[in-house]
């Protein structure tokens, strides 16, 4: 048995260990990687699909858990961190599948894709270099993202460049070098406020927040795309006493107009919008429309007020 001192869990003793079953590995559908630019070796490298690799690890852990003589409350089943750090996850272009798509060789196609990917990463890398200097606003970031034919690729790539949580190489080029960076999602403020029309989807009264959907607005093309209209969720923060009228709009299915400050956030799920409501546009008209809608649904509710007037 091996006594060790873990910086996270403290002193511990490794009492049992196991490796992934060699039989299971042989029965797994690997992809053999044969270099097209070097002589073929007798023992080509193989790649195991990630989902099957995870299954093999779970199966191995299950064996240890089933034969664990200590009980589960005082033990930890896992992988040594130094071994985990040496694992390399790869993406491989498979020759047989590639040839079914076109007639270029797999090496030629891989090189073309590499150059195309690096060209698409270049403007994103330029943005990432400006971010620590505080020289980026939401409009500039979105202009670059929208210029890429695959906006999802652009959002996730820029996020990786900014977070630097994981290393990333394209071919033999290191695009992202892992570093001790902030764990939070990158965010960028808009350089001006925007006048929009929204509908309310949900509210969180305990924290003063609401989720609304963008319906229309004035001069929005620098911060929203046409596809956002009727679909883009806007997360309004710190609403205070403005939450009550929004709650009525949600219950009565009314739209409301407001001036907002916009912040975009690059999340693992994609682009997100956090907003601060500066003011309602024509607040008196909004409150009057809320009152009329309530009167239509509950006639006579304001009769006493009107009689008093």
Tokens of 160: 């990786």
List pLDDT tens digits, range 34-57: 344 444 445 556 778 888 888 888
pLDDT above 70 (res 96): no
pLDDT at 242: 94
pLDDT above 60 (res 286): yes
Q: What's the mean pLDDT in 200-204?
A: 95
Most confident of 3-17, 102-116, 135-149, 175-189: 135-149
CATH-assigned architecture of domain 192-297: Beta Barrel (2.40)
Query: Which of 271, 264, 236 shows the shortest CA–CA distance to 250?
Result: 236
The residues spanned by each domain of the chain are: 2-37+44-92, 99-176, 192-297
List pLDDT tens digits, range 61-72: 888 888 877 777
Distance CA 17, CA 2 (A): 11
Q: What's the mean pLDDT in 15-19?
A: 75
Distance CA 93, CA 11 (A): 44
The rounded Cα 47 to chain-centroid distance in angstroms is: 27
**pTM (2 d.p.):** 0.75
Which residues, 6+ apart, have CB-to-CB distance to 134 below 8 Å?
none
Bridging pattern class, strands 187-189 and 255-267: antiparallel
């Amino acid at each position: 048995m091996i006594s060790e001192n873990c910086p996270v869990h403290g002193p511990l003793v490794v009492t049992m260990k196991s490796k992934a079953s060699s039989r299971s590995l042989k029965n797994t559908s690997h992809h053999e990687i044969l270099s097209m630019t070097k002589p073929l070796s007798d023992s080509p490298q193989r790649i195991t699909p990630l989902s099957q690799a995870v299954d093999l690890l779970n199966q191995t852990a299950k064996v240890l858990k089933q034969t664990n003589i200590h009980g589960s409350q005082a033990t930890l089943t896992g992988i040594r961190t130094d071994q985990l750090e040496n694992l390399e996850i790869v993406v491989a272009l498979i020759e047989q599948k590639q040839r079914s798509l076109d007639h270029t060789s797999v090496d030629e196609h891989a090189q073309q894709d590499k150059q195309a990917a690096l060209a698409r990463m270049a403007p994103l890398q330029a943005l990432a270099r400006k971010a620590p200097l505080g020289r980026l606003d939401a409009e500039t970031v979105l202009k670059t993202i929208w210029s890429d034919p695959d906006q999802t690729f652009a959002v996730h790539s820029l996020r990786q460049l900014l977070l630097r949580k994981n290393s990333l190489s394209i071919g033999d080029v290191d695009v992202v070098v892992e570093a001790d960076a902030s764990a939070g999602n990158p965010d960028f403020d808009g350089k001006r406020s925007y006048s929009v029309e929204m509908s309310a989807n949900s509210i969180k009264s305990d924290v003063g927040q609401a989720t609304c959907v963008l319906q229309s607005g004035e001069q929005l093309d620098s911060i929203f795309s046409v596809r956002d209209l009727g679909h883009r969720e806007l997360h309004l923060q710190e609403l205070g006493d403005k939450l009550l009228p929004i709650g009525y709009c949600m219950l009565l299915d009314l739209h409301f107009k407001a001036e907002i400050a916009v912040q975009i956030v690059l999340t693992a799920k994609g682009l997100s919008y956090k907003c601060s409501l500066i003011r309602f546009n024509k607040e008196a008209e909004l409150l009057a429309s809320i009152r009329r809608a309530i009167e239509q649904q509950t006639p006579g509710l304001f009769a006493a007020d009107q009689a008093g007037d």
